[in-house]
Structure 1
Amino acid sequence: MVAEESKGMLVRGLSILEYVAKAQPGTATVVAISEGTGLPKSTVYRLASTEREMGYLSYDETTKSHSLGPKLFELAASHSASRSLSQIAQPAMEGLSCKTGETVQLSILSGSTALFVGRVSSPHAVTIRGNIGQAAPLYATSTGKVLLANLPEASREKLIDSIEFTAWTQNTLTSKKDLEEELSSVLEQGFATANEEFDAGVVALGVPIADAAGSVAAAICISAPKYRTNMRALKKYLPDLKEAAQRIGLMLVGQN
């Protein structure tokens, strides 16, 4: 019942956003939204207030009307950027997967998670978690550690302090101290590993991808089942992984 009620509220909230998106400037008042969506004015008022607080709607005191808020434009820009990145990275990822025979994944920082925005699956019939659009913990994945390690110190510390550690496997890092030591190694070595830390039986090796400004824009990794390989064997592909990351980075520079 609770799930159904939540779904209903979500649908109502989205219907308000859809109405506002299509409305002429200065016309999306509470009354107009109510008439246009069929929702009670009290419901529109309550949901629109929440959407304004979250940045999904803006409000003009003069016209008493709503418009789309900055948060929606941020999401749209992020989606566009991630699509562009994945398209740029696809050829290099395909080449790396073909050479290694393993799954290659591309991630960007999204809030406090690593968001998978690109993937080339291994030809072998083995499922590796991390499909496009899925998020993974920064502290338990190779790409997550790369993204976290390369943040400015203040941002990195703030994110680390916000982490609620979950032991996904017996190898998962579950303390701030252990994570900070791991991130220091990542910065020193230039790569990160995940040795059965998010998924039991899966190992991964990740490196950063730098953009035109020299900042880390994304991370790319090779993921493989441990029954077929191990971390020592996977590291033999580190030069190939770094080359793929460099190729992607150079193409990102060319876009600017």
Structure 2
Amino acid sequence: MESERKSSGTVGKALNVLDLVASFERPVRFNDILAESRYPKATLYRILQNLVTEGVLTFDRKWQTYALGVRLVRLAHSAWTQSSLAPVARPHLTALSEATGETIHLAQLDGPHVLYLDKRDAKRRVTMFSEAGKVGPAYCTGVGKAMLAYLPDDELQRILPQQSYHRFTPSTICSQQELACELNQIRQDGYALDREDHEPGIICVAVPILSRSEQMMGAVSVTSTSARTSLGKLRKHVPELQNAAGKIADAAEYWRFPENERTPERMEI
């Protein structure tokens, strides 16, 4: 279970508790939440009751469990449509999926982590960790490394020490120094690789989504399995990925700053 973020104030504490309840990925009893929380029993109970009253948590009296509420679903949908790349990227992900036949991921950074925004499954579906809405590690995923490589230096230096560097597979990067070297290589190549870094058998190639001013906006990847293909073959999709990333960046810039674009046709939804 992920530790609670250090936050002060009522809102920060409430968000910490929401994160904690969400991390169970199932309805959860009070004592289970308490065992993972740094708040005193009375404080935690009061926060939970307030969240239930506001509709962001629900409480099942029969089973005595807490779960995320439908108000969060509405907020999440609004965030997805208003703040993420997902809506403008949708047609480009679909086209990429049809062209490659492989799994396609769209992601942005959520602090030091990767937030998967959207996904297109391969023609022959592969079971893997990533799903839209899930948060994963940045240091050992293709999309994560592609985004880290193009962060401003001050932001990168802040985020690198926050990576866990946990060894998931024999290929996992396990030190800040090793990651820094790989990020330098990614900047030279223009793409990142996942060499079964996070999951055994899962490989991918990813490229950053960069604005016209070279601001990192997100990343897109083509993912497959080592049993079905090779990294060499996945590398052949780099031009398609870069083309899709450019179109997503253009559409996103028009969407956010329409006065800077000449025509609205660049945004396809």
The answer, yes or no, to whether TM exceeds 0.5 is: yes
The one-letter code sitting in structure 2 at the alignment partner of 1:88 is V
1:38 equivalent in structure 2 = none
* Alpha-carbon offset, residue 85 of structure 1: 1.6
Give the Cα–Cα distance (whole angstroms) in 2 for the partners of residues 76 and 126 of structure 1.
Answer: 26
- Matching residue of 1:242: 242
Distance 1:11 1:209, change over 3 A: farther
**1:185-244 Cα distance to aligned partner (Å, 9 max, x none):** 111211111110001101111111123654111100011011111100000111011111
**C-alpha deviations, 1:124-174, integer Å up to 9, x for none?**
032132101111111100110011111111111121122221111000011
In 2, are the aligned partners of 1:116 and 1:132 still within 8 Å (CA)?
A: yes
Return the offset for 1:249. 0.8
CA distance in 1, matches of 2:210, 2:48: 36
Cα separation, 1, equivalents of 2:222 and 2:242: 11
Q: Counterpart in 1 of 2:138?
A: 138
Q: Which residue of the partner structure matches residue 166 of structure 2?
A: 166
CA–CA separation in structure 1 for the residues paired with 2:166 and 2:204: 19
* Partner residue in 2 for 1:16: 50
Contact 1:107–1:143 (Cα < 8 Å) also in 2: yes
- The DSSP-based 3-state class of the residue aligned with 1:219 is strand
Which secondary structure state, in structure 2, belongs to the residue aligned with residue 166 of structure 1?
coil
Q: How do 1:85-164 residues align onto structure 2 when only pairs under 5 Å count?
A: 85-164=85-164
Q: Structure 1, unaligned stretches of length 5 or more?
A: 22-73
> Contact between 1:128 and 1:224, CA under 8 Å: does it hold in 2?
no
Aligned amino acid, residue 151 of structure 1: L
Determine the structure 2 residue equivalent to 1:59. none
Identify which range, 159-168 or 140-149, moves more after superposition.
159-168
The yes-or-no answer on 1:5 pairing with 2:39 is no
CA distance in 1, matches of 2:76, 2:93: 25
Alignment-mate amino acid for residue 252 of structure 2: L
For the aligned residue pairs, the C-alpha RMSD in angstroms reads 2.8
Inter-partner Cα distance in structure 2 for 1:206 and 1:124: 20
**Is residue 228 of structure 1 aligned with residue 228 of structure 2?**
yes
Instruction: Pick closer, same or farther for the CA change 1:11–1:246 going to 2, 3 Å.
Output: farther
- Per the normalisation by structure 1, the TM-score is 0.72
Q: Distance in 2 between matches of 1:195 and 1:11?
A: 45
Q: 1:174 to 1:240 in 2, by over 3 A?
A: same
What corresponds to 1:194 in structure 2?
194
Q: Output the amino acid matched with 2:227.
A: Y
Provide TM-score, normalisation by structure 2.
0.68
What percent identity do the matched residue pairs reach? 27
Q: SS of the counterpart of 1:232?
A: helix
CA distance 1:11–1:141, change in 2 (3 Å) = farther
Tell me the distance in 1 between the aligned counterparts of 2:238 and 2:54.
50
Name the CA shift for 1:253/1:4 in 2 (closer, same or farther; >3 Å): same
